[in-house]
Amino acid sequence: MTARICLFIISLLVLSCSRPKQESDTDFSLEKWLTHYELSGYVETPTYSETIEYSKRLAEASPWVSYQSFGHSGLGKDLPLLIVDKNGNTNPVAIRQSGKAIFFVQACIHAGESDGKDAGLMLIRDMVITRQKENLLDNASFVFIPIFNVDGHDRFGPNNRPNQNGPVEMGWRTNASNLNLNRDYLKADSPEMRAWLELYLHFLPDLFADCHTTDGADYQYPMTYSIETYGNIDTALARWQSETLEPYLIREMANDSMPIFPYVSFREWYNPRSGLVKSAASPMYSQGYAARQNRPGILLESHSLKDYRTRVDAHYKMLEHMLELLNQRGDELAILNLAADARTSSSDFRNDPLAVSFQTSFSDSTMVDFLGFEMQQRVSDYSGSTWYEYFPDKPQTFAMPMFDKVEVKHSVFLPEAYLLPPQWTQAVELLQTHGLACSGLAQAIEIEVESYYFSDVSWSARPFEGRFQLSFKQESQKERVLFPQGTWVIDMNQRGARVAASLLEPLATGSLLEWGFFNPIFEQKEYAEFYVLEKLIPEMLKNDPALNADFESMMTDSAFRSSPRTINNWFLSKSKYCDVMKDKYPVGRLMSRDVLNGLKYLQ
């Protein structure tokens, strides 16, 4: 053998050893790709590190899978993300240009509820490794967060979910700061949620699903679900969910011998016989937030008392069937989503009032069949409370009243734009985090706006999700206001107009005002000494007969009458020395498009 031939053979061997690993190098048999959950006999869920390890294995083995971190938790841990696309695309523009719909799924926002994590990892494995389900990627891409609340997941233990039947160990409900991430979508106090909002807006998926495990009563359904069809989403998308998505899932899950039912609560807590209640989701919840972003979202709630394998199977099937539907009807849904964006961005969107808060009506109900179990009412020997004992070996169908008529509690005619003075930096940063376009005024300007004034202001006695929520009454009035240079203008001709209204309309459920972002406006900063007021009050009463009448009326209130400080502060608030900015919302509502079009902005 010549030296040249030997060198050629050696070169081939070197190239063969050094080339990147190809799919043909990988053993794709199911036995080599069983998840930790399957290897445990369907009773355990993997830890954070084990989940990351398996996710990276999937990405290393298949060019269809990309593993990424989309941010960091409060403790600095990576937030894991898997993007699954048959063309290997990871950019939403490229994905859509290839004609695919985007299905965005998250698990473990409540880290003790791990069913969706194990279901999602198996589904990805079956699509890209064994290829048994690869057809689910023909016309759809799968974006999957296996663990959203990673710090809560690392609080791993067997005693974190007293109402839940497995797995052996699981994570904790809240993050390291004790915040429930599924109450944080609007206020975005957590680093995890701020990272999620950036990711969600990057992909702006065609369909979204959030995987949970419920608490509550015992019943036959392994899975319940919630979709938004109550006026908090574009009407065409509400119709698609109720006429296409919901019937498809009900039918296919029934074919799988897994009956499903809407996620409901009881009219009276712990009393199943009181009736079932459906309600519109607040935008602080995942599916409620997706609705405000003009995208359908579904809350999946497997039943906590079912064994872990049953719950994971139910999640697997629901995700599989949603991918099936997207493969069949994804083009149709994408068109509806874009049409919803166009409607929200247009002036026509402001022709009618927008509902910003909702309530369920109990004046009427519909009788429905509910697959439950025989139950008996008991009285506790310890607390004296009423509770129900369920008998899962005795299934029973109940005819129950369903209260599902959702009414508008508050609605508003939206302005052409909101004006937010530049000193409210935390608020404007949050608006931008939600993807809202904000432009700064190039110069100060005095213009007519609608302003809100508040009264009867009070805060909750206890914190909720780290904040003391606000209740109030409001009135509006037109007035000319001088807005300084740099004031942020939020033009409502943008697709996020529903989100802007949810944040900036005080009566909207979960508004920035309600969460306490504008608390300083309610603080009195100047006071008058009593000896000054003693000379001022007689003069005020002498010159203003109406003030006399108001004072006499106020004095009929014993609490007012018995508090000298309250009386003196009342007179101060009626005097020329009053703080005209106290209790006034700093955000102006600009109602004129012509005025808006004439504004000049900082470059």
Domains detected in the chain: 27-341 (3.40.630.10), 361-408 (no CATH), 413-524+582-597 (no CATH), 530-574 (no CATH)
User: Could you tell me how far CA 475 lies from the centroid of its own chain?
Assistant: 29
Q: What is the pLDDT of residue 23?
A: 53
356 — pLDDT class (breaks 50, 70, 90): very high
pLDDT, tens digit, 9 for 90 and up, residues 105-125: 999 999 999 999 999 999 999
Mean pLDDT, residues 65-85 taken together: 98
Contacts of 296 (CB under 8 A, 6+ apart): 207, 208, 227, 228, 233, 237, 240, 241, 245, 290, 333
HSE-CB of 291 using CA atoms within 13 angstroms: 29
- Look up residue 21 and give its DSSP letter: P
Residue 580 sits at φ, ψ, to 5 deg, of -70, -15
Of 384, 396, 407, 383, give the one whose Cα is nearest residue 273: 396
Give the model confidence (pLDDT) of 162-200 as tens digits.
999 999 999 999 999 999 999 999 999 999 999 999 999
Q: What average pLDDT does this structure show over 41-48?
A: 98
Gap between the Cα atoms of 142 and 390, Å rounded: 39
426-440, 458-472, 562-576: least confident range: 562-576
* Beta-ladder partners of 353: none
DSSP assigned state of 94: H
Tokens matching residue 382: 């310890």
Average pLDDT, the chain: 94
Mean pLDDT score, 83-99: 98
Output DSSP code: residue 467.
B
pLDDT band of residue 25 (cuts 50, 70, 90) is low
Whether the CA torsion 292, 298, 303, 307 is positive or negative: it is negative
| Omega within 30 of 0 (cis) for the link into 167 | yes
Cβ neighbours around 54 below 10 Å, total: 19
Q: What is the pLDDT confidence band of residue 4, given thresholds at 50, 70 and 90? A: very low
